[in-house]
Amino acid sequence: MFELFQSGGFLMWPILACSVAAMAIVCERLWTLNKRAVTPGSLGQQVQQMIASRELDPAKVVAIRESSPLGRILAAGLVNMKNGREIMKESIEEAGRHVVHDLERYLNTLGTIAAITPLLGLLGTVIGMIKVFAAITSFGVGDPTVLAGGISEALITTAAGLSVGIPSLMFYRYFRGRVNALTVNMEQEAIRLVEVIHGDRPAPAPAATLHRVS
């Protein structure tokens, strides 16, 4: 395997570095973009019930903020719930921008890796073919072993670049879609909170089975 790696030329090293970085980003984002961790299903209902039962206090707001990214958005609205609808919406939107920025962390890097690794493979192909034609110019086409090195470098770097770039692009698109879905979910929860606080929507009835934020 190492001999195959070496035969691909010096461009195999940046391709290898890109593959390691892509794998680290994919593992980290799979862990971070867990729907239960980002938007706990019962959090919005818990907050609405606290408002309805007048159990909300500064300590609970802090606990909500620290519970999840969705909690950060809802807590921003709760802090400004007495300042009017517009101020409350502005604070939620500002918190939402910060949360979405955190959810998109490293995705641009993953997209860059998906774009440049096939190009690195293509560059390796060009360099390999240059070596092939240089060998043909110097030694002719009578000895195939003279041409083997350049052809091998051209094929291996192309295959390596595509092997890294294709999965990176797939995960990049997948994570983009997941972030968009989570963002829509958080927007819906924030809108419900605003409507409950300002009387446009009734608060849900207390549920004994709900896990309370403490």
Give CA separation, 13 vs 16, 110, 147, in Å.
5, 18, 23
pLDDT digits (tens, 9 = 90+) for 51-96: 888 878 888 889 989 989 999 999 998 888 888 788 888 899 999 9
* Length of the chain in terms of residues written: 214
Quickly tell me which residue has 């090293």 as its tokens: 13
Tokens 């990049």 label which residue?
Answer: 172
CB 39 within 8 A of CB 54: no
Q: Is 187 helix (H, G, I), strand (E, B) or coil?
A: helix
Spatial distance between the Cα atoms of 110 and 26, rounded to a whole number of angstroms: 8
Does the pLDDT value for residue 122 go beyond 50? yes
The full set of domain ranges for the chain reads 17-33+41-117+164-197
The two structure tokens encoding residue 192: 């419900």
pTM for this entry: 0.81
d(CA 77, CA 90): 9
